[in-house]
Amino acid sequence: MKFYHGTSLESWGKIQKEGVLWGIRNAPSRCTYLASAREEAKQDEVMLEVDYDPTEGCWCNNWFSEEWQHREYEPIPLSKISEVMINGRKTNKKNR
């Protein structure tokens, strides 16, 4: 399944450094918000496309097929993420 996550250039650098997409460090509960449609994701400097199956692994996620957005409580590896846009320009760069 394809989901989308908008973030800042600064946060995208931190995500790449840590090696996973997994919310903000030091928050009470680390989670990542994923949108079902690109138009619904937070519009920021970087738009990520996430190839992810929310029905695998942890069942603590709040994904429902009818929802436009869900919270993911598991870290998502960079191999599942593609840069879609940076500052409004398409990149389609696949991470490894």
What is the structure's pLDDT at 50?
Answer: 93
Answer whether 29's CB lies under 8 Å from 58's CB. no
| pLDDT recorded at residue 58 | 61
Torsion angle defined by CA atoms of residues 88, 89, 92 and 96, in that order, rounded to the nearest 10 degrees: -80
Secondary structure percentages of the chain, helix, strand, coil, to 5? 15, 40, 45
**pLDDT tens-digit map of 6-55:** 999 999 999 999 999 987 766 677 888 899 888 888 888 999 999 988 77
What pLDDT is recorded for position 92? 67
pTM over 0.85: no
Give pLDDT tens digits for 44-74: 899 999 998 877 766 556 666 666 678 788 8
Task: Decide which of 43 and 93 is more confident.
Answer: 43
Residue 49 to residues 27, 29, 94, Cα–Cα distance (Å): 24, 23, 9
**Which residue, 91, 2, 94, is CA-closest to 51?**
2
